[in-house]
Each structure stands twice: as structure tokens, then as C-alpha cells.
């Protein structure tokens, strides 16, 4: 696909916004909604996002490049350590910060820890705080979030939003534009992510596995795309391997008579077809790699470094 002509104007703005929040607060969901296309994996499981991914929103006035970071957490293995380092680097390298809080539930210790992490940067970087799920917010939870902001971030811009209903997303975009420096667009106007289709496909397969397996298999799941063949503009053939840490997990992922992996494949195929706009033939396999989350070589092989 040919790139659209870059947008130029004397007052055009472009830059990077790090999206910060505890695991499962809705960072990837927000990015998907703002871009009006699914590029980031979303599931009910915390820490679904493992890699730093860009979401590129281009308007007539600005190009906002969202950096969807892994949620901050206390790491328990090398993969967790790399995820936290990626989030910290995103904060340091960004032009502005978007801190997402969920006001449908009480503030957690992770929210307060994140506030501590962000405090040193607020003097140097513009900060927007989005209070998400305002459509189902409880008054006491909203009041607690406002109290935290007033105490820790008195100069921040605050926007109350709902990703589900779309409340105030235009106000959020306007606030984020103000965080950006004057610049020509940094990416072609028709580009919405730095991921290739095969990388998004891997994340959508992992998302389907997390949705369907839920609590049966922990986060010891990764996906490797072995082959992504584009037959033509209407058809692609994907061979992928689901990596697990134990033989017992492999049996669960496959299921009786292959029933579980068939469900995963069906859901993933539908999501990949919706993302790519073409027919997909998806072949899934399962392989055991013991303790892969603690192995630097395997993490590099799977694209986590």
C-alpha cells in the first residue's frame, strides 16, 4: 500500500504519549477505540500486554503516537523485569504522559505505586489523567481518585471518559494534542501501528487463548508465528505455535480430541480476518518450552527483547 502524502502545517503537532496504568486498567482497549481498529490484545487477564506497541492516530491537527506499555507490576521472572523496564523507558522517552485510572473500583496499591513512579516526571512532561469507566463509576471511588490527583498531580489535565460508550474521547484527544511539540508527522498518515500483521496475529492468538482458557493455564503462554504466507490480497495462510511451560498445560491447550485448540483457532482466525480484511487459514500447534519466561535466549527468540 502506498503511503498517503504527509500532512504539513506551521502549527501541526506530533509526538509520543506513553499510556500508563496498572495491569488490566484498559490501556489497550482505549488505544483500540481511539484508532477505531483492533491492534492490541485485550483480555480479562492482567498483564495481557507484554510488548511495547505503538498506536498512531493522525488527524488534521496532530499525530498522536501512543506507546501502549506493559502494566506496572512486581516482576517474578525475567519477562516481568523486561516488561517493567519497557514501561519505564516509555515514560522517559515520551513527549507526554497519559495516566489511566479505573473509577469503577477502589484505588489499589498499584495505582498509588504508579503515582509514585510518575511524580518525578510531572515537572518535565505534560500529564493527562483519564478517569475511565465513568459510566459505571461509584461516587466514592471517583472522589478518591480526585483526591489522589489533587494531592499528587495538581497541575495535570483531568478528563473523565468511558471507552465503552465513547464519553469525552474527543476531549481526551484534544488534551493530548496540547502535550505534543510542533512537528511534521513522524509516520505516514495511513499507518496506525509499528507492528506488522504477523505480530498482531500472534497477539490475537494469545488473546484468544487467554479468553478461552481463563484460569486453567497461567500466563506461561506465548505465541510464535512460524509462517505467514500472503497468497494474494484476499488470502493468507498462517502457521503458529503456542508455547507453554509444562506438559500438563499442553494437554489443557489441546483439549479432549483437540476441542480446546479448535476453539482458540476459531476465535483467533475471526479476529485476524477482521484485522487484516482477508480470508485466513490458521494452523495451530503446541510446544513445551520449560521456564521460557526465565530464559533470556528464549525471550529473545520469542521477540521480548
- According to the model, what pLDDT value does residue 112 have? 92
For 214, the grid coordinates are 481463563
Q: Which fold has domain 13-177?
A: Rossmann fold (3.40.50)
The pTM score is: 0.66
54-112 residue pLDDT tens: 889 999 999 999 987 765 544 454 555 656 666 677 788 899 999 999 999 999 998 99
Output the DSSP codes for 225-271.
EEEEEEEETTEEEEEEEEEESSHHHHHHHH-GGGHHHHHHHHHHHHH
Nearest by Cα to 42 from 161, 162, 208, 198:
208
Instruction: Give backbone dihedrals phi and psi of 3, rounded to 5 degrees, phi first.
Output: -75, 145
Confidence band of 283 (pLDDT split at 50, 70, 90): very high
Cell 498499584 belongs to: 110
CA dihedral 147, 141, 106, 126 (to 10 degrees): -50
Q: What count of Cα atoms within 13 Å lies in the side-chain half-sphere of residue 134? A: 19
Q: DSSP character for 122?
A: T
Q: What is the pLDDT of residues 119-140, one digit of tens each?
A: 888 888 999 999 999 999 999 9
Q: Where do the structural domains in the chain lie, given as residue ranges?
A: 13-177, 197-301
Domain 197-301 CATH (choose: 3.30.300.20, 3.40.190.150, 3.30.360.10, 3.40.50.300)? 3.30.300.20
pLDDT tier at 301 (50, 70, 90 boundaries)? low
Res. 282: pLDDT tops 90? yes
Residue carrying C-alpha cell 505505586: 113
**C-alpha radius of gyration, the chain, whole number:** 20
Place of cell 478528563: 159
Amino acid at each position: 500500500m502506498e503511503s498517503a502524502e504527509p500532512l504539513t502545517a506551521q502549527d501541526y503537532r506530533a509526538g509520543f504519549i506513553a499510556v500508563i496504568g496498572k495491569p488490566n486498567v484498559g490501556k489497550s482497549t482505549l488505544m483500540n477505540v481511539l484508532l477505531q481498529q483492533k491492534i492490541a490484545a485485550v483480555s480479562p487477564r492482567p498483564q495481557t500486554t507484554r510488548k511495547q506497541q505503538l498506536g498512531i492516530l493522525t488527524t488534521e491537527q496532530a499525530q498522536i503516537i501512543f506507546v501502549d506499555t506493559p502494566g506496572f507490576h512486581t516482576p517474578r521472572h525475567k519477562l516481568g523485569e523486561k516488561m517493567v523496564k519497557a514501561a519505564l523507558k516509555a515514560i522517559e522517552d515520551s513527549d507526554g504522559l497519559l495516566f489511566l485510572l479505573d473509577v469503577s473500583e477502589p484505588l489499589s496499591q498499584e495505582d498509588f505505586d504508579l503515582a509514585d513512579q510518575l511524580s518525578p516526571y510531572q515537572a518535565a512532561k505534560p500529564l493527562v489523567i483519564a478517569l475511565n469507566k465513568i459510566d459505571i463509576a461509584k461516587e466514592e471511588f471517583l472522589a478518591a481518585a480526585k483526591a489522589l490527583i489533587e494531592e499528587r498531580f495538581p497541575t495535570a489535565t483531568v478528563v473523565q471518559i468511558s471507552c465503552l460508550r465513547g464519553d469525552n474521547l474527543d476531549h481526551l484527544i484534544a488534551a493530548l494534542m496540547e502535550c505534543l511539540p510542533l512537528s511534521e508527522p513522524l509516520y505516514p498518515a495511513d499507518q496506525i501501528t509499528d507492528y506488522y500483521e504477523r505480530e498482531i496475529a500472534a497477539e490475537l492468538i494469545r488473546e484468544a487463548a487467554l479468553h478461552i482458557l481463563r484460569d486453567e493455564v497461567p500466563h506461561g503462554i506465548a505465541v510464535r508465528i512460524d509462517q505467514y504466507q500472503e497468497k494474494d490480497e484476499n488470502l493468507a495462510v498462517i502457521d503458529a505455535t503456542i508455547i507453554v511451560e509444562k506438559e500438563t498445560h499442553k494437554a489443557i491447550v489441546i483439549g479432549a480430541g483437540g476441542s480446546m485448540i479448535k476453539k482458540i483457532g476459531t476465535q483467533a482466525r475471526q479476529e485476524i480476518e477482521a484485522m487484516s480484511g482477508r480470508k485466513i487459514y490458521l494452523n495451530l500447534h503446541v510446544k513445551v518450552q520449560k521456564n521460557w519466561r526465565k530464559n533470556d535466549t528464549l525471550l529473545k527468540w520469542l521477540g521480548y527483547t
